Amino acid sequence: MSKKGHRRGLLALGLMVAMTIALPGCGEQISGGLGALGASDPNSFASQYSYAEEDVNSAWDEKSAVQITLNGSTAKVEGDGAAAAGSVVTISQAGTYVLAGALDDGQILIDAGKEDVVRLVLNGVQLANSTGAPIYAKKAAKTILTLADGKENSVTDAASYLYADGEDEPDAAIFVKDSLSINGDGSLTVQGQAKDAIAAKDMLVVTGGKLTLRAVHDGLQGRDGIAIRDGVFVIAAGNDGIKANNDTDEAKGFIILDGGTYDITTGQDGIQAETGLSIQGGDYEILTGGGADAAAVKQENGFGGWARGPGVPFGTVPGTAPVTAAEAEDDASSDSVKALKAGGLLTIQGGTFNINAADDAVHTNGDMTVTGGQFAIQTGDDAFHADGALRIDGGEINVARCYEGLEGATIDINGGHIIVTASDDAINAAGGSDGGTAGPRGRDSFAAASNIYIRITGGVVEVLGGGDGIDANGDIFLEGGALYLSGPSMEMDGAVDLDGTFLITGGTMITAGTSMAPSAESTQPSLLVSYTSSQAEGSKISLKDEAGKTLLEYTSQTSYTASAMTSPEFAVGKTYALYVNEQKLTEITLSGIVTSIADDGGAYAARGPGGRGGFGGGGFPAAGGSPPADGGGRVPPTDGGNGSFLPPDGSGGGFPPAGGGSGSGGDMRPPEGGGRNRTPR
């Protein structure tokens, strides 16, 4: 119910992330990043990471490698480039070092040249340290951890670290001040008892191995960026599971996941990228913040405020009182407990996702594109949330539980199969950010805007909304696809609700619940039906043509007093028969682009523009006015655009060019100096 006293400010709709890292001494460049979604071709988004040979190749030369044998409190080094002093082994030059045995209380310290690549082969080791990090790469161009085939390895750090005056690093059980790569087919268990399990200050790349990470704070952290090609990850973290957190360089702080298997349980975010997040594939089981059962229950109190329900750690008794300003401020600063989160562009091209999150399941402060993947989602807030444009081109999405299902400033649905059960709006185009303070934890503060829309061109959408089924604080454009909507039949909510123009030029729709009237400028006819008595949940609505062919059929998921229908087979002047549970109620002749009728064949008074449904008192509003003239800003792109509005010719589309500046000509980035979108806590 986004438009009832809610407001959000518009944020930037795009983020260009691109990087090329030259690693001295590696013999090649590692290049990767996230490409911008072009206005002319919204499917041109490409994310890539060019993995270096040493990232992928886990083989090593046994003859030339330095052998390091660990034995309790001592170590034996065979070869050049490393030296042991008691329980500390210091590696001072590039090379391959094979470690075996146990070190009860010591450290592997890498202090090599700034252009050196150091490979540690973990060949069945157990490393522990009672005062700090067992593996600390203080200086090197890159550190490679190769997990020897069939070998089990473990690393456990101290519960608290002892630092020299003025120092605060290392702060992870495996800590690398430069870049880190992990490969091989062995296993590694890391206990981050003080803070993080594995952390790299530059790039962190994983191409294989089984990693079991337990951490007080973060499980796997690559400050500048993370690229994962393959591997098995079991992560339990008090804060974030996987995180890239460089917030000073827009070309960094990204995560690219090309594959892998993930089992992530976290107290805060599951996977969090400060800038862009790209997922090409993989299997994901993610539980954040105790899951949907632990979320505060959001429910309107009828006056634009919020009442709370039981939840851990935020709620009390449902419906007891509106949230106060102080409570809202506290909630706004609460720790984030989202499953997948990006500060900028987020794309998902494939993968399987089983998500149970206390907060949003998939969230971005910028734009989101989903072209594939299979999703099973339960969440205490939104299933898919974009502060900017949300675009779904494909995938199988099943949201069994959420507050709102799909939410963005603009929403384009061009394909896929989407099933949503929501306690509020199932699909909501509202605009703005997720950082307001109108509701619990600062969420859902919206207002109507001329550049907000929902556009559906394809796919199958089935929703049940406790608030509205589909709701836009602007316009709705139905051009294709199939909509099956269950929503309320009441004064403030319905199956279809909007503040602007409802333009139907194609597609199929049938609702159990009220709908705002389509525009008279629509090119495909529609039918609005008011029932003389409430119809039961689970009843089957059917519409048949004169030959008895069923054109539309839908089994309701809620009780209802109204229906809205449209089909490409509708024709003005033709007569159709309305059935509920195979019982014929009436015959209806379509009298125009919008036909309103009661189920007994009688007419009813339709309200004018701005009126609401609620059929005891006047039914649907009259067919709305015409869409705005060209240039009015409400008609969405006709080229299948990226969900932003078409700017003046030559301005480059809704996303700013790389390194884009202020927000002229449809570019919604903040003015220069306004700052980049930051991930809210």
Q: What is the distance between the alpha carbons of residues 665 and 104, in angstroms, rounded to a whole number?
A: 63
Model confidence at 49, in pLDDT bands (50, 70, 90)?
Answer: confident
Q: What is the distance between the alpha carbons of residues 94 and 118, in angstroms, rounded to a whole number?
A: 5
Task: State the pairing for strand pair 453-456/470-472.
Answer: unpaired
Q: What's the pLDDT score for residue 336?
A: 92
Higher pLDDT, 46 or 488: 488
**How many CB atoms within 10 Å of residue 597?**
21
Is the per-residue pLDDT at 449 higher than 70? no
Q: What's the pLDDT score for residue 113?
A: 97
List, for residues 477-516, the tens digit of each pLDDT value. Answer: 999 999 999 998 776 789 999 999 999 999 999 999 999 9
List, for residues 86-95, the tens digit of each pLDDT value. Answer: 999 999 999 9
Q: What is the distance between the alpha carbons of residues 621 and 662, in angstroms, rounded to a whole number?
A: 40
Summarize the confidence of residues 192-200 as an average pLDDT.
97
Is the per-residue pLDDT at 44 higher than 90? no
Is the per-residue pLDDT at 658 higher than 80? no
DSSP 186-251: SEEEEEESSSEEEEESSEEEE-S-EEEEEESS-SEEESSEEEE-S-EEEEEESS-SEEE---S-TT
List, for residues 369-425, the tens digit of each pLDDT value. Answer: 999 999 999 999 999 999 999 999 999 999 999 999 999 999 999 999 999 999 999
Higher pLDDT, 252 or 634: 252
- Preceding amide of 313 cis, omega within 30: yes
Range name among 67-81, 490-504, 515-529 with the lowest pLDDT average: 490-504
List, for residues 531-583, the tens digit of each pLDDT value. Answer: 999 999 999 999 999 999 999 999 999 999 999 999 999 999 999 999 999 99
Higher pLDDT, 447 or 541: 541
Model confidence at 324, in pLDDT bands (50, 70, 90)?
Answer: very low
Range name among 109-113, 167-171, 316-320 with the lowest pLDDT average: 316-320
Is the per-residue pLDDT at 428 higher than 90? yes
Q: What's the pLDDT score for residue 334?
A: 53
Q: What ranges do the domains of the chain cover?
A: 475-617
Q: What is the distance between the alpha carbons of residues 109 and 81, in angstroms, rounded to a whole number?
A: 12
| DSSP letter, residue 602 | -
The fraction of the chain above a pLDDT of 70, given in percent, is: 73
Rg (CA), the chain: 28
Question: Are 437 and 13 within 8 A, CB to CB?
Answer: no
Question: Are 222 and 204 within 8 A, CB to CB?
Answer: yes
Is the per-residue pLDDT at 39 higher than 70? no
Higher pLDDT, 619 or 54: 54
Model confidence at 604, in pLDDT bands (50, 70, 90)?
Answer: low
